[in-house]
Structure 1
Amino acid sequence: MNSHKRKLLTIVTEAALESTLVREIESLGAHGYTITDARGKGEHGVRNAGWEASANIRVEVVCDAETAAALAAHLREHYSRNYAMIPYLSDVEVLRPEKF
């Protein structure tokens, strides 16, 4: 089985940012993304999605290293000071590289 190295950028953040992040992810070159609801506890307290203002999402983007680096830099520059956001990168291997 031939696998191909890619990066997985995972972003856990406030649900209010979803539509903005989707536009930016696409404009910075990613081919797609997956968004799921997320709940948990961290520096900003419990985020249980009991009401819209406390809802979180997890955005996952599989892409090449250059796109992942550009997205991560963009998030750090535009969101790190004013929003609850945890972006992190992982190495992944994909079986269908043309998708990413």
Structure 2
Amino acid sequence: MSSKPSAVPQRKLLTIVTEAVLETTLVRDIEQHNAHGYTITDARGKGSRGVRGAGWEASSNIRIEVLCDASTAEGLAAHLRDHYYADYAMILFLSDVEVLRPAKF
């Protein structure tokens, strides 16, 4: 007698890499789009706008990860593109993920 593994729920992971100065504003945007939570970490690297370090807040980057359903992720991503792309260094990644603790999301 073999048992079928239960399906693992699919969610979207929206990853935002942007200027640290936007943190408070983006947290508000995330909450207004009904995401249940987020994770913020310092980020550094090199891209089209040059090298970004974490040593001076005015030039540092953050990485925000938001795990949510597809409609929330897509709506939030559209809002961020419309309101921040023109004036801030920002990149968005949208990934399909399997959630191993679905009740939290």
- Relative to the length of structure 1, the TM-score reads 0.96
Aligned-partner Cα distance in 1 for 2:102–2:70: 13
Where do residues 2-17 of structure 1 align in structure 2 (5 Å cutoff)?
2=6, 3-17=8-22
Q: Cα offset for 1:98?
A: 1.8
Q: Which runs of 5+ in 2 are unaligned?
A: none
Task: State the percentage of identical aligned residues.
Answer: 73
- Identify which of 31, 36, 47 aligns with 2:36: 31
Q: Cα offset for 1:51?
A: 1.1
- Relative to the length of structure 2, the TM-score reads 0.92
2:37 is the alignment partner of 1:55? no
Where do residues 1-100 of structure 1 align in structure 2 (5 Å cutoff)?
2=6, 3-100=8-105
How many residue pairs get aligned? The number is: 100
Structure showing greater Rg: 2
Aligned-partner Cα distance in 2 for 1:29–1:79: 19
Q: CA RMSD, aligned part only?
A: 0.9
Aligned-partner Cα distance in 1 for 2:22–2:103: 28
Q: What is the letter of the counterpart of residue 23 of structure 1?
A: R
Q: Cα offset for 1:50?
A: 2.2
Q: Which runs of 5+ in 1 are unaligned?
A: none
